[in-house]
Amino acid sequence: MTRIGKIVGLAVLALAFLVPAQAELPVGRKAPIFSTQAALAGQQFTFSLRDALKKGPVVLYFYPKAFTQGCTLEAHEFAEAMPQFKAAGASVIGMSNDDIPTLKRFSREECRDAFPVGVASTKTINAYDVARIVDGKRTGTTTRTSYVIAPNGRIVMVHSDMDYRDHVKLTLAAVKKLAR
């Protein structure tokens, strides 16, 4: 291999580490079905995506860690918007890899009893391709990724951004579009 070829090869390899990998499933794909332990208003229950989709679209949003600043602010925004989501026939569930005792508290204090939060198992995190990777290693937390899933189980909208601010606005717009 020539010296230029080696330099180009190293540059391509370096760019691979600078450009983040796609961290979400594409629009149009069938959403992976799962059940998990969840909490709403401090009460534990089993959440089933299959059952939730029978009632209408589902906003499934993954967040890194309960009680952190961005996740708390995002939960507040979803709680405030719940009347609009419900008016459009949609349900919302937040997902993180926190344990149930933590999620019970988070559902009361930060989700304001307005919507449930569930345990994102490693299997679910991998199925939705939302594992947070830092320095090439899985952290055990998720990326901040929101999906809107139509009642037929197809993903109709994806937004992945660690900044929480557009998640509610964009998912609500997608749900309203589905309702038309």
The whole-number pLDDT of residue 139 equals 84
pLDDT of residue 173: 97
What pLDDT score was predicted for residue 110?
97
| pTM assigned to the model | 0.86
Mean pLDDT by 10 residues, the chain (180 residues): 48 38 81 98 98 98 97 98 98 97 98 98 95 86 96 97 96 95
Residue 72 and residue 42: Cα distance in Å, rounded?
A: 16
* Per-residue pLDDT at 2: 57
Beta bridge partners of 43: 40
For tokens 């959440």, what's the residue? 47
φ/ψ (deg, to 5) at 84 = -70, -40
Q: What per-residue confidence (pLDDT) applies to 172?
A: 98
Q: Are 61 and 73 spatial neighbours (Cβ–Cβ below 8 Å)?
A: no
Rg (Cα) of the chain, in Å, rounded? 18
Asked whether 67 and 104 are in contact (CB, 8 A), the reply is: no
Domains of the chain with CATH codes: 22-179 (3.40.30.10)
Q: What is the pLDDT of residue 3?
A: 54
